[in-house]
């Protein structure tokens, strides 16, 4: 009879009856009663009242009954800790039972009872079981240590269980070894700093021996542990690889992926010239192919992992293209993933096969899949130059089908093909223009508008085509509006006489009738450009476009290396590091591949150009749409207005103007009287009066060190902080700080290369900022920056750059370029680097100015627990150019009256009241007066920083 009868009782006095049955003398009746209790517990009834009666049933030799009681105990021990202590004696006794199954059962249950009071009683039984002669008991006890560590880590360490676990790695039984490794890995994950698994060649040898004989999950634990080991040389790496390779033919896909992870990691250390390296590549392909014959969900996981592997080592699967061809009954998620891998593997050798297949897909019924297939044809054209001709004709055939979504995707990818191969395929534009009316998706409309604007001189009715889009300008998406604005300006610069009205119309739509700040800004910039200097406008808007890159969706190299270390885990399916989706810091350790051996030192990877190649030959990667900094203005038009033309960045770095600093002068700082005959200049962007003060004064402050107190001791320098992490900059990490010494401001940078390729051709530029900070010289990195190399650079700054009020005031946006890409970051500079050396006012002037500044401009602040007296405060502040004008003592309190001046000529006056607190610490009250009150908060922060460091 089945156990279903236990779930069917609904009597009223049930608990009372069960109590009677549990206390029965008959063993059978007892067992039946416990089964009923467990059944009630399973369906959610509260049977905790029976705790003492159930615990009494523990004293039995019947294994089945014992298991049931232990099950009950695990469930209710937490809610009844005082009762649970009654069971401790039985545990202790059961841990010495002659039957190893009972000993193991007792130790397993002990680990599951999460009650602090009980844990210390369980240490002795656990210690005995860890040294038990039966391997089944030892392997159960090993896992129990990890569970106990989770409840009370300190207790486990004090009792020496961790050392016993380490000894179990040398156990004669493979399952005990696997469980010991699993337990230590689990503990090490929650304590990343502890070096529990300090693996050495001897322990690795023991793990590899156990690997062949334990269960599949045991194998996974051991393989994952091996993946965290770094061999001392390539010989050791090769011998480990040789012993792990047989796991590739295992039936369990998890074992296969764990083995692939170990091999991918250790291959980094093998020289590519070795015969073994070639053999290993050949051995890796079949198991990965076999994974694709599993059910769809497993296929998807395998494909996501293969996607990473193909990006790291495309040579592994280069001959296996056919496996990734889509089957008619594949679910959509598998189809899309296969398509992605097909493009990554596309090469000259297999492109004909791939294109035939993609063309077939483009006639399928699944819309998402068809779109991706059409896009894939375009990606193939960009990736394999020899196939471009064939891809374009395939796309034209698809456009002839007149299927709406196919036509739209085709136009989007043809735009990219034009960017990659200029002046080659423009003959197809006529065919594209025929389909103008059928476009209803923003991306396709934007692509078509770009084509019309870019090749306006070849299209007779370009103005009519663009005018047709203007009619519903406000109903279009932002992407289309921005594209239309640029296209009409291009058209105007190519055919100025015919399109005067059209360009006026679009500029007023974009600037006066639009709520979108991006669109307005771009409209104003074009308007000012056209009204100021049409020749410059032509150079900007019709500039040579950078070539499009091969693969724009590759994973960034440092992230890819980290993900390779997580093959076979969720991270490899999400393509994100665990820190991105695991909440809390527990268990998230950043992993990376071992450094390559000297013999195979090669900065070339299949996707990157040789590092030594001159930057002129390398195709630039297009900045993404979201990069507003690198968006529009990749050209410099001369030095900023409002200061003498110093040797600033804009002069020496015209070729690499990253933020378009030169054009900022057109946004409101322009000289009067500019404007073409047909253009009405738009209203100038207002500059706050206090920040528009003459830049010249700032310049004289920088170099005039005769006046004021020119102390040689520099002002306080904050420790370097990471401004741009390597994860966000394709392997380039930038740390830095700001200093001011003897009137010179500098940005002290530390550049570290954490990528796998050499970095060269560095340049830097600042966006406009509140105080006009700008580089006074180019960023000079004298030698190429090799992988894992760090270089320290001091970049001199001046304050004669373009000014724009930032939020917060001391925000600085920086762009750094190297041979890989352009990277953007922002940082906050401490205001005291802008305090100039001639900032000491005379007393009369101080009094007059203090009275003259309105009272509402006064701000009060408190600086608590300052460890200095009045003398020390005064001298400490003076070294950062905050000067004491006068000092007096009022009712036992010291009062300091101080002045400072910023590089742009703004004066700040301060009254500092020093209240003697306890002997070692004083509290300070600071009152600040300034004509530009928004500066006060930042000056207070400078005071606090200087006095407390």
Helices (H), 131-252: 135-151, 153-158, 161-168, 174-190, 201-211, 216-227, 234-244
| Cβ burial, residue 783 (10 Å; 0-12/13-18/19+) | exposed
For residue 603, pLDDT over 60 is answered with no
Peptide bond into 314 cis (omega under 30): no
Q: Residue 638: which pLDDT band, with cuts at 50, 70 and 90? A: very low
Terminus-to-terminus CA distance in the chain, angstroms?
80
Tens digit of each residue's pLDDT (9 = 90 or more) over 459-509: 888 888 888 888 888 888 889 999 999 999 998 888 888 888 888 888 888
In this prediction, residues 344-368 reach a mean pLDDT of 87
In this prediction, residues 392-405 reach a mean pLDDT of 85
Contacts of 146-152 with CB under 8 Å at 24 or more apart are 146/182, 146/183, 146/184, 146/186, 146/187, 147/111, 147/112, 148/111, 148/119, 148/122, 149/186, 149/187, 149/190, 150/190, 151/114, 151/116, 151/119, 152/116, 152/119
In this prediction, residues 253-273 reach a mean pLDDT of 89
Q: How many angstroms separate the CA atoms of 731 and 603, rounded?
A: 13
Residue from 300, 246, 235, 245 nearest 269 by CA: 235
Please name the residues in contact with 650: beta carbons below 8 A apart, sequence gap of 6 or more.
636, 638, 639, 640, 657, 661, 662, 774
- 3-state SS class at 463: helix
- Residue linked to tokens 């025929």: 434
User: Mean pLDDT score of the chain, rounded to an integer?
Assistant: 79
Q: Residue 606: which pLDDT band, with cuts at 50, 70 and 90? A: very low
DSSP 800-851: -S-B---SSTTEEEEEEE-SS-EEEEEEE--GGGGB-TT-PPPHHHHHHHHH
CB 674 within 8 A of CB 668: no
Q: How many angstroms separate the CA atoms of 32 and 270, rounded?
A: 64
pLDDT of residue 601: 42
Cα-trace Rg, the chain: 37
Helices (H), 636-685: 649-652
Tens digit of each residue's pLDDT (9 = 90 or more) over 765-797: 999 999 999 999 998 888 888 888 999 999 999
Tens digit of each residue's pLDDT (9 = 90 or more) over 185-221: 888 877 766 667 778 888 888 888 888 888 888 889 8
pLDDT of residue 583: 73
- The number of helices, as runs of H, and strands, as runs of E, in the chain is 38, 13
Residue from 184, 179, 189, 187 nearest 220 by CA: 179
Tens digit of each residue's pLDDT (9 = 90 or more) over 718-760: 899 999 998 888 889 999 999 998 889 999 999 999 888 889 9
Residue 703: Cβ within 10 Å count: 10
Q: Token digits for 135? A: 């391997």
In this prediction, residues 836-852 reach a mean pLDDT of 89
Sign of the four-CA dihedral 79, 81, 86, 89? positive
Alpha-carbon dihedral angle through residues 806, 811, 817, 821, given to the nearest 10 degrees? -80
Contacts of 244-247 with CB under 8 Å at 24 or more apart are 244/208, 244/211, 245/280, 245/283, 246/212, 247/211, 247/219, 247/223
pLDDT of residue 77: 76
Q: How many angstroms separate the CA atoms of 672 and 709, rounded?
A: 40
Residue 64: Cβ within 10 Å count: 11
**What residues are paired with 894 via a beta bridge?**
889, 914
Q: Is the pTM of this model over 0.75?
A: no
């Amino acid at each position: 009879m089945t156990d279903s009868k236990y779930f069917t009782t609904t009597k009223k006095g049930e608990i009372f009856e069960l109590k009677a049955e549990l206390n029965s003398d008959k063993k059978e009746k007892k067992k039946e009663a416990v089964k009923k209790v467990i059944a009630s517990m399973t369906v959610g009834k509260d049977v905790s009242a029976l705790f003492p009666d159930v615990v009494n049933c523990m004293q039995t030799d019947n294994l089945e009954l014992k298991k049931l009681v232990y099950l009950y105990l695990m469930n209710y021990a937490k809610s009844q800790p005082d009762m649970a202590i009654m069971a401790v004696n039985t545990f202790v006794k059961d841990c010495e039972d002659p039957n190893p199954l009972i000993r193991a059962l007792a130790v397993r249950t002990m680990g599951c009872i999460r009650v602090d009071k009980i844990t210390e009683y369980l240490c002795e039984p656990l210690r005995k079981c860890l040294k038990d002669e039966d391997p089944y008991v030892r392997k159960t006890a090993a896992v129990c240590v990890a569970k106990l560590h989770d409840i009370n880590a300190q207790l486990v360490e004090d009792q020496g269980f961790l050392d016993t676990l380490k000894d179990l790695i040398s156990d004669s039984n493979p399952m005990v070894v696997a469980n010991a490794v699993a337990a230590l890995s689990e503990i090490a994950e929650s304590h990343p700093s502890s070096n529990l698994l300090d693996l050495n060649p001897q322990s690795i040898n023991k793990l590899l021996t156990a690997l062949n004989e334990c269960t599949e999950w045991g194998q996974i634990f051991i393989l994952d542990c091996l993946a965290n080991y770094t061999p001392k040389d390539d010989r050791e790496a090769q011998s480990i690889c040789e012993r792990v390779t047989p796991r590739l033919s295992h039936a369990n896909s998890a074992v296969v992926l764990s083995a692939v992870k170990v091999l991918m990691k250790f291959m980094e250390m093998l020289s590519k010239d070795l015969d073994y390296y070639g053999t290993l590549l050949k051995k890796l392909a079949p198991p990965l192919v076999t994974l694709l014959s599993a059910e769809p969900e497993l296929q998807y996981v395998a494909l996501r992992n293969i996607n990473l592997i193909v990006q790291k080592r495309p040579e592994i699967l280069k001959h296996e293209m056919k496996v990734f061809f889509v089957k008619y009954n594949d679910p959509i998620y598998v189809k899309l993933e296969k398509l992605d891998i097909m493009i990554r593997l596309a090469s000259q050798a297999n492109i004909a096969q791939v294109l035939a297949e993609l063309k077939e897909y483009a006639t399928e019924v699944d819309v998402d899949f068809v779109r991706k297939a059409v896009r894939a044809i375009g990606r193939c054209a960009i990736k394999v130059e020899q196939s471009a001709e064939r891809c374009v004709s395939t796309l034209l055939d698809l456009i002839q089908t007149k299927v709406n979504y196919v036509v739209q995707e085709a136009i989007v990818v043809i735009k990219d093909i034009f960017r990659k191969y200029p002046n080659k395929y423009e003959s197809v534009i006529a065919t594209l223009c025929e389909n103008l009316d059928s476009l209803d998706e923003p991306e396709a409309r934007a692509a078509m508008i770009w084509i019309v604007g870019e090749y306006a001189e070849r299209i007779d009715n370009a103005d009519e085509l663009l005018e047709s889009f203007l009619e519903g300008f406000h109903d279009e998406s932002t992407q289309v509006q921005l594209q239309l604005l640029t296209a009409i300006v291009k058209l105007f610069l190519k055919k100025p006489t015919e399109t005067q009205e059209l360009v006026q119309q679009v500029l007023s739509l974009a600037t006066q009738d639009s709520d979108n700040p991006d669109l307005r800004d771009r409209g104003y910039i074009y308007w000012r450009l056209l009204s100021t200097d049409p020749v410059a406008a032509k150079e900007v808007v019709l500039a040579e476009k950078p070539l499009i890159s091969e693969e724009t969706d590759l994973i960034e190299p440092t992230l890819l290396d980290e993900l390779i270390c997580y093959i076979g885990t969720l991270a490899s399916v999400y393509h994100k590091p665990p820190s991105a989706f695991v909440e809390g810091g527990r268990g998230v350790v950043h992993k990376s591949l071992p450094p390559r051996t000297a013999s195979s030192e090669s900065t070339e990877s299949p996707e990157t150009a040789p590092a030594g190649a001159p930057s002129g030959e390398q195709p630039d990667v297009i900045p993404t749409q979201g990069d507003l900094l690198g968006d529009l203005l990749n050209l410099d038009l001369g030095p900023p207005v409002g200061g003498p033309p110093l040797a600033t960045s804009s002069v020496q770095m015209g070729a690499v103007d990253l933020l378009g600093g030169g054009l900022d002068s057109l946004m409101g700082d322009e000289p009067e009287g500019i404007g073409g005959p047909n253009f009405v200049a738009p209203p100038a962007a207002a500059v706050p009066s206090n920040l528009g003060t003459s830049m010249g004064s700032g310049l004289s402050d920088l170099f005039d060190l005769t006046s004021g107190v020119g102390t040689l001791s520099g002002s306080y320098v904050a420790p370097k902080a990471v401004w741009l992490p390597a994860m966000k900059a394709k392997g380039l990490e930038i740390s830095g700080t700001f200093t001011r010494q003897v009137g010179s401001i500098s940005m002290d940078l530390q550049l570290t290369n954490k990528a796998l390729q050499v970095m060269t051709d560095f340049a830097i530029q600042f966006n406009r900022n509140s105080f006009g900070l700008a580089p006074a010289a180019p960023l000079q990195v004298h030698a190429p920056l090799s992988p894992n190399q760090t270089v320290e650079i001091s970049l001199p700054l001046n304050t004669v750059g373009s000014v724009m009020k930032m939020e917060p005031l001391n925000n600085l946006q920086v762009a750094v370029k190297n041979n890989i890409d352009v990277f953007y970051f922002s940082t906050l500079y401490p205001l005291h680097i802008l305090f100039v050396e001639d900032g000491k006012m005379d007393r009369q002037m101080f009094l007059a100015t203090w009275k003259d500044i309105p009272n509402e401009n006064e701000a009060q602040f408190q600086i608590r627990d300052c460890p200095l007296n009045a003398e020390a405060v005064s001298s400490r502040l003076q070294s950062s150019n905050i000067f004491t004008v006068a000092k007096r003592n009022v009712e036992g309190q010291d009062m300091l009256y101080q002045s400072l001046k910023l590089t742009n000529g703004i004066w700040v006056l301060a009254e500092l009241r020093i209240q003697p607190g306890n002997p070692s610490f004083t509290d300070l009250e600071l009152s600040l007066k300034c004509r530009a009150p928004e500066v006060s908060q930042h000056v207070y922060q400078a005071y606090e920083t200087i006095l407390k460091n």
